Amino acid sequence: MVIQRRLQLVSDMGVEVETSPWEEGALRIAFASSDNKRVDQHFGTAKGLVIYSVDPEQSRVVEVMEFATQAMDGNEDKLESKIAALEGCAAVYSQAIGASAIRQLQRQGIQPVKVAPGSTIQQLISDLQQELVSGPNSWMARAISRESGVSPARFDAMEAEGWEE
């Protein structure tokens, strides 16, 4: 599946914006959406993906992609370019997703999240931000540690130095 259109934020120098200073600890989260407002698409046949940078206090759109219409035909080759387009994302939210897509996303370190019909992107972002403040769940904690470069092995090193709880 080829991306038909792609909007990315760029700096005034014409260079793709990777992260701004406030986004240093932010997570990139993708949403399967036809209108960039609601999560209303099956991942494999999504007409569009909107990617936000989300931290505990703010969020912003960093990329919007539109795809050609795809049939739900079991052809898994179409997933490859869609998953590649999610590089750097911690999670992708959709209304439905197939088992093969789940496995492929997880191999890339991307957490698939299924949402209820009618879920708005803004409400999902608000829920994510509340979770970031109160203490992230397991997939979010893994994503944060990947982003920050913090290794779980640090506790082994602390134990070897004689640290105790």
Kindly state whether residue 165 falls inside one of the protein's structural domains.
no
- CATH number for the domain spanning 127: value is 3.30.420.130
Kindly state whether residue 88 falls inside one of the protein's structural domains.
yes
**148: helix, coil or strand?**
helix
- pLDDT per residue over 48-60, tens digit each? 999 999 999 999 9
Kindly state whether residue 128 falls inside one of the protein's structural domains.
yes
Supply angle C-alpha 29, 57, 25, rounded to 5: 55
Supply angle C-alpha 13, 14, 15, rounded to 5: 95
Residue 132's domain comprises 3-160
Kindly state whether residue 38 falls inside one of the protein's structural domains.
yes
Kindly state whether residue 101 falls inside one of the protein's structural domains.
yes
d(CA 136, CA 59): 17
Determine the pLDDT at residue 155: 58
- Using alpha carbons only, how large is the chain's radius of gyration in Å? 17
Tally of domains within the chain = 1
Kindly state whether residue 39 falls inside one of the protein's structural domains.
yes
- pLDDT per residue over 1-15, tens digit each? 455 545 555 445 554
**103: helix, coil or strand?**
helix
